[in-house]
Amino acid sequence: MAVLVGKKAPLFEATAVVNGGEFVEKFSLEQYIGKKHVVFFFYPLDFTFVCPTEIIAFQDKMDEFDKRNIAVVGCSIDSPFSHWAWLNTEKNDGGIKGVKYPLVSDLSKTISENYDVLAGEYDYNDEGEMVFHGEAVAYRGLFLIDKQGIVRHQVVNDLPLGRSVDETLRMADALQFFEDNGEVCPADWHPGDDAMEATAEGVAKYLSHH
Closest CA to 138 of 48, 202, 210, 5: 48
Task: Between 167 and 177, name the one with better pLDDT.
Answer: 167
- SS3 of residue 60 by DSSP: helix
Q: How many Å separate Cα 175 from the centre of its chain? A: 15
Q: What mean pLDDT is predicted for residues 181-197?
A: 70
Q: Is the pLDDT of residue 184 over 80?
A: no
Handedness of CA 195, 151, 65, 30 (dihedral sign): positive
Catalytic status, residue 51: yes
Q: What mean pLDDT is predicted for residues 160-178?
A: 92
pLDDT tens sequence across 24-77: 999 999 999 999 999 999 999 999 877 788 999 999 999 999 999 999 999 999
The interaxial angle of helices 165-181 and 50-60, nearest 10 deg, is 40
Domain boundaries, the chain: 14-163, 164-210
Quick check: 71 and 39 in contact, CB under 8 A?
yes
- The pLDDT of residue 134 is 78
- The 8-class DSSP code of residue 20 comes to T
- The class that CATH gives domain 14-163 is alpha beta
Quote the CA–CA distance of 9 and 30 in Å, as a whole number: 10
Catalytic position from the list 45, 51, 142, 151: 51
Quote the CA–CA distance of 114 and 36 in Å, as a whole number: 22
Q: To the nearest whole percent, how much of the chain has pLDDT over 70? A: 90
Confidence band (pLDDT; 50, 70, 90) for 148? very high
Distances, alpha carbon 208 to alpha carbons 16, 181, 189, in Å: 50, 21, 16
Q: What is the pTM of this model?
A: 0.90
Quick check: 43 and 76 in contact, CB under 8 A?
yes
Q: Which residues contact 91 (CB under 8 A, 6 or more apart)?
A: 52, 56, 97, 98
pLDDT tens sequence across 81-137: 999 999 999 999 999 999 999 999 999 999 999 999 999 887 888 888 888 787 889
- The pLDDT of residue 181 is 78
